[in-house]
Amino acid sequence: MRNAKERNITLKALDFNNQDLADAVRNTITVIVPFSVFFFLGMPSAAMGVGTGTLLICLTDLPGNRAEKMFSAWLSTLTFSLLAVLISLLVSNIYALPFVVGGLTFLLLMMTSLGQRMGVIGMMGLGVAAFTIGLHPTNPLAYGMYIAIGGIWYSLVSLTQAWLFPYHSLKRALARTKKNTAALMRLRSIGYDMEASLAGFNAKNIKLHLKLTTDHELVRRLLLGDRFNISFEDISGKQLLKESILLIDLYEKVSALHYDYTSMRNTLAGSGILEKIRNLIGFTADKLESNTPVQANFDEFIAEIHRLTVASEKHRDLVAGIVVNLEETGALVFALDDQRDLDTKMLSKQFPAFLTEGKISFKMLKAHLTYDSQVFRFALRISLLMMAVVLVVAMLPKGSYGYWLPITLIVISRPSYGMTMKRNIERVIGTFAGLIIGWCLIALNLPIALQLCIAVLGLFLFFGFLLLRYWVSAMGITLAVVLCLSIYHGNTTQILSERLLFTLLGCLIGLAATFLFPVRHSFNIKIAVQQAISTNSDYLSAVINNAHQDVIQIKLARKQSYLALSALNEAISLVAREPKWKRKELRTLRQIELLCFQVNALTAALSIADKDLSSLNIKPIADLNYCVEKLNEMQHGQVFALMPLERLDGQLNLSNVAVKLKTIFSAS
């Protein structure tokens, strides 16, 4: 029991869960098996081709339902095999190859406009082109077949898992949602700790909100996007559907725990109530992540808070609303394990309304065929870079590992300067670490079998940390590549030096290229602010006008508000990461972002209040709409000229927060 608990603590520290671990092991084995089989059969070319196909198609396997995985499997396999054959045919033609690769790069990156899954397939298609240039296959048709075999092999494994365990991706998404919801609850508990500092509280709060918005969006897509799962006839499916809906409602309850903590601390100091509330929130968070706490202990906490409240009549009104929220939060958490009442009140015909990303349409692609599109500018930039880089690689002597240059460029390039810089730093750190460890292991002259086992461990690190700690992932794949190539080719010095050289060169080129057809993130700020305020207004209106009537309408409005807040935070973050000479003053925008999150949290508290809201003062809605109207009159650059408020303190209620927003825009 103790070992299991220690293992869970370790995984939690690494931001891992059991599903992440299982997927990393599966991916590692799936890549190693065909590579090993063909290699030991004396077919090294087949081993490299099948291994490459398996690895790259593995990276396109995003979380999704069975229909999405099936679509991704056949499209990836077909696209990659055709690319492999085409590039193989032209790999010796130094004049045609750069132009063909440049044109294909543009087309593949434009696939991003069709959604995340299509974008990943396009990006990995570039990986196929880069590896093909490096491997320089002599038989194009055979190489294309090997790539296809690798894709089919991985797809069979992935689809078999999806059919045998249809809710694997959903369980994984729910586990992460529970983890982040519990983290938000623990952050809330800090507000009730007299000794804890509130410095950085709002920034951490917003960060967790963004994580949960992403988590719930994935859960909705997994729940609602598969025709196989839409009926949820079996008990497991119904239980997961119930958990998903309860977690969405729980998110709203936890959001409503946001109060003016400074004022509350001053009011309740010395009463003992703050400590009990803090302990109860922590207890509930522990229950959410594990099944250890029991209902009886929760009831004891509630009873103790009631006793303290009765003993202090002046605190009764203040604490009453908090206690109701805590009781309802606890009820939702304990209901997650309840196997009864599995029939949801949500109708199947209402499901599609909650999906953000619809079906693939070429109208989506057409909308981005303009120079103003971020996708278009990024695709144009990388296509020109790939043309130049491929031309350089084609002129390098045979036996060089120059293909690491385009691979590095593909891996680290992002639309914005800040994102590319972050990826660069992680790539360089991981590569240095992998090279040093690899050099030490090779110098020790370890047995080949042991070196191969360490290479497999490196591949596991690559898969396990690809989305969590990229520098660890880069270290793992560098270690695996260095050891395998050293065993196979033996040119250790060349391998180490060229890996370092082409990685650094690729990082520098990728970073410098962000100024070629730069993505103008500042142009998105006005729209993001407008959407955040507008959706908050719609959410508040839905709560007031549909209280206790149209619950679905409120949930839809809440979802749109969360997504808009997430988009606003991302837009501000991208502008903040621009080069120093291009950065704008963001204090006012940070204030607007905070106020928008406060409006959202206060609206969530209203939506769960058990009282008539029809007579509620609607002036906050009018103030929010005023802000939207002022934004309509502004040019993009004028948003950065808004003057910040000197102070943001005061009572934390809808009227006060909405007035603060209005004051910011009134001064424009």
Burial of 570 (0-12, 13-18, 19+ CB in 10 A): middle
Look up residue 456 and give its amino acid.
V
Shortest CA distance to 240 belongs to which of 337, 326, 384?
337
Residue matched to tokens 């929130």: 281
Shortest CA distance to 280 belongs to which of 261, 300, 260?
300
pLDDT in tens, 230-255: 455 666 777 887 888 888 888 878 87
Burial of 195 (0-12, 13-18, 19+ CB in 10 A): exposed
Residue matched to tokens 């038989």: 139
Structure-token pair, residue 648 = 């943001």
> HEC states along 66-113?
HHHHHHHHHHHHHHHHHHHHHHHHHCCCCCHHHHHHHHHHHHHHHHHH
Cα–Cα distance between 486 and 436 in angstroms, integer? 14
Q: What is the pLDDT of residue 390?
A: 93
Structure-token pair, residue 161 = 């898992």
Q: What is the pLDDT of residue 161?
A: 86
Mean pLDDT is highest, among 103-112, 311-320, 557-566, 590-599, for 103-112
Structure-token pair, residue 284 = 């509930």
H helix runs in 344-447, sequence order: 362-367, 374-394, 404-412, 417-443
pLDDT in tens, 277-303: 888 888 888 888 876 666 667 788 888
Q: Confidence band (pLDDT; 50, 70, 90) for 10?
A: very low
Mean pLDDT of the chain: 83
What per-residue string of b and e applies to 501-518 under the rule 16 or more CB within 10 Å gives b?
A: ebbbbbbebbbebbeebb
Query: Across residues 529-552, what is the average pLDDT?
Result: 82
Judged by average pLDDT, the poorest of 229-243, 537-551, 569-583 is 229-243
Asked whether residue 5 carries a pLDDT value surpassing 50, the answer given is no
Cα–Cα distance between 66 and 230 in angstroms, integer? 12
Cα–Cα distance between 471 and 351 in angstroms, integer? 39
- Three-state DSSP state, 579: coil
Distances (CA, A) of 564 to 235, 629, 649: 35, 17, 24
What per-residue string of b and e applies to 55-94 under the rule 16 or more CB within 10 Å gives b?
A: bbbbbbbebbbbebbbebbebbbebbbebbbbbbbbbeee
Asked whether residue 580 carries a pLDDT value surpassing 80, the answer given is no
Radius of gyration of the chain from its Cα atoms, rounded to whole angstroms: 27
Q: Confidence band (pLDDT; 50, 70, 90) for 53?
A: very high
Asked whether residue 435 carries a pLDDT value surpassing 80, the answer given is yes
Question: Cβ(600)–Cβ(256) under 8 Å?
Answer: no
Q: Confidence band (pLDDT; 50, 70, 90) for 612?
A: low
Asked whether residue 485 carries a pLDDT value surpassing 80, the answer given is yes
Residues ≥6 apart with Cβ < 8 Å to 615: none
Phi-psi region at 409: left, alpha or beta (left = phi > 0; alpha = psi -120 to 50) = alpha
Cα–Cα distance between 575 and 577 in angstroms, integer? 5
Q: Is the dihedral of CA 496, 498, 502, 505 positive or negative?
A: positive
Question: Cβ(594)–Cβ(644) under 8 Å?
Answer: no
Question: Cβ(45)–Cβ(142) under 8 Å?
Answer: yes
Query: Across residues 49-58, what is the average pLDDT?
Result: 93
Judged by average pLDDT, the poorest of 198-202, 245-249, 567-571 is 198-202
Largest CA distance in the chain: 87
Structure-token pair, residue 2 = 């103790």
Question: Cβ(152)–Cβ(76) under 8 Å?
Answer: no
Structure-token pair, residue 386 = 């790939």
Phi-psi region at 15: left, alpha or beta (left = phi > 0; alpha = psi -120 to 50) = left
Query: Across residues 266-280, what is the average pLDDT?
Result: 82
Structure-token pair, residue 427 = 């790539």
Q: Is the pTM above the cut of 0.85?
A: no
Q: What is the pLDDT of residue 338?
A: 72
Shortest CA distance to 642 belongs to which of 571, 564, 584?
584
H helix runs in 489-582, sequence order: 492-512, 522-546, 551-576
Residues ≥6 apart with Cβ < 8 Å to 24: 460, 463, 464
Phi-psi region at 447: left, alpha or beta (left = phi > 0; alpha = psi -120 to 50) = beta
Question: Cβ(79)–Cβ(56) under 8 Å?
Answer: no
Query: Across residues 454-465, what is the average pLDDT?
Result: 93
Asked whether residue 62 carries a pLDDT value surpassing 90, the answer given is no
Asked whether residue 602 carries a pLDDT value surpassing 80, the answer given is yes
Distances (CA, A) of 453 to 32, 33, 166, 449, 484: 11, 13, 32, 6, 10
Backbone angles phi, psi at 583, to 5 degrees: -75, 150
Q: What is the pLDDT of residue 317?
A: 67
Structure-token pair, residue 580 = 């120093």
| Helix or strand run (H / E) with residue 286 | helix 273-289
Q: Where are the domains of the chain?
A: 1-164+368-395, 168-193+205-354, 522-666
Asked whether residue 227 carries a pLDDT value surpassing 50, the answer given is no
> HEC states along 112-157?
HHHCHHHHHHHHHHHHHHHHHHHHCCCCHHHHHHHHHHHHHHHHHH
What per-residue string of b and e applies to 345-369 under the rule 16 or more CB within 10 Å gives b?
A: eeeeeeeeebeeeeeeeeebbeebe
For every residue of 436-502, DSSP letters joined together read HHHHHHHHTT--HHHHHHHHHHHHHHHHHHTTT-HHHHHHHHHHHHHHHHHHHT--HHHHHHHHHHH
